[in-house]
Amino acid sequence: QSALTQPASVSGSPGQSITISCTGSSSDVGVYNLVSWYQQHPGKAPKLMIYEDITRPSGVSNRFSGSKSGHTASLTISGLQAEDEADYYCCSYASTNTPFVFGTGTKVSVL
Which residues are at the interface with another protein (CB under 8 A)?
1, 3, 34, 36, 38, 40, 45-48, 51-52, 57, 89, 91, 93, 96-105
CB 82 within 8 A of CB 23: no
CB 11 within 8 A of CB 95: no
Residue 15: alpha-carbon gap to chain centroid: 19
Q: How far is the CB of 77 from another protein (least distance, A)?
A: 18
CA distance 97 to 2: 14
Question: Using CA atoms in the order 97, 38, 76, 62, what is the torsion angle rounded to 10 degrees?
Answer: 120
Q: How far is the CB of 40 from another protein (least distance, A)?
A: 8
Q: How far is the CB of 16 from another protein (least distance, A)?
A: 25
17/98 with CB nearer another protein: 98
80/91 with CB nearer another protein: 91
